[in-house]
Amino acid sequence: MFKQSKNKLHANKLSLNESKSSFISFLCTTNTVLHSLSCFSQETVVKYLGVYIDKFLNFDKHVAYVVGRLKSFCGIVSQLRHYCPKNDLLLFYIRHIRSIIEYGISVYGNTSITVLEPIYKLQKKIIRLIYFNRSRESTSDMFYWHKILTVYELFLHNLLKYSLKTCNKMHNFVFLNNLVHRS
């Protein structure tokens, strides 16, 4: 299997750096696959296109990464809220914070609610910071009135957008067909 892939790469004048390559085994029923990939290092977590994928596909490492990035924005918002109007802070939230949460959510968003809960809690904290609310005050009205989607709603929104594009045949099927016919 590995030799076939290497031959295809060579035929297309592509190279593979074995020292920088690794593989992750999600479900492996035989050792033949592992034996043929012995030149690569086996990893339990791999960062692929900015999303951390672990071998159990529970995405807790990626959520921890997103939480770390969002925590840094809590400090920024807590300082900016004294100098900027709320509308500007909401734009800051949409441009910076929501984009971090939304990146790759179609991949990691279907994980369990408990894994996504730290992101949701930080969303609520940031909204409370913007509106100078206490930590025990409800944020559901603020999410609703300002049309801010929670992490769970962002996943559903992206899933529905993808489904709508699929139903209306708006995907680039030429690209997808080329992938299917070449293999």
Q: What is the reported pLDDT for 37?
A: 54
Domain match, 79 and 6 both: no
Q: What is the reported pLDDT for 32?
A: 47
Domain match, 38 and 70 both: no
Domain match, 107 and 142 both: yes
The beta strand positions in the chain, using DSSP E, are 22-23, 41-42, 45-48, 51-54
Residue 140, in any domain of the structure: yes
Residue 172, in any domain of the structure: no
Domain match, 88 and 148 both: yes
Listed range (39-53, 114-128, 151-165) with the worst mean pLDDT: 39-53
pTM recorded for the entire structure: 0.74
Q: What is the mean pLDDT of residues 52-57?
A: 84
Domain match, 96 and 15 both: no
Domain match, 73 and 160 both: yes
Closest CA to 27 of 5, 61, 47, 55: 55
Higher pLDDT, 38 or 105: 105
Residue 180, in any domain of the structure: no
Q: What is the reported pLDDT for 168?
A: 74
Domain match, 76 and 157 both: yes
| Tokens of residue 23, six digits | 């593989």
Q: Do 29 and 15 touch, CB atoms closer than 8 A? A: no
Domain match, 71 and 158 both: yes
* Angstrom distance (rounded) from CA 52 to CA 55: 10
Domain match, 22 and 72 both: no
- Domains: count for the chain: 2
Distance of CA 138 to the CA centre of its chain: 27
Residue 49, in any domain of the structure: no
Domain match, 39 and 64 both: no
Domain match, 74 and 159 both: yes
Q: What is the mean pLDDT of residues 148-170?
A: 85
Domain match, 109 and 163 both: yes
Q: What is the reported pLDDT for 41?
A: 67
Domain with 15, as residue range(s), is: 2-43
pLDDT digits (tens, 9 = 90+) for 64-93: 999 999 999 999 999 999 999 999 999 999
Q: What is the mean pLDDT of residues 45-50?
A: 82
In the chain, % of residues over pLDDT 90: 38
| Tokens of residue 31, six digits | 């050792």
* Angstrom distance (rounded) from CA 88 to CA 93: 9
Residue 53, in any domain of the structure: no
Residue 147, in any domain of the structure: yes
Higher pLDDT, 20 or 117: 117
Higher pLDDT, 170 or 38: 170
Q: What is the reported pLDDT for 183?
A: 44
pLDDT digits (tens, 9 = 90+) for 112-148: 899 999 999 999 999 999 989 888 888 888 888 989 9
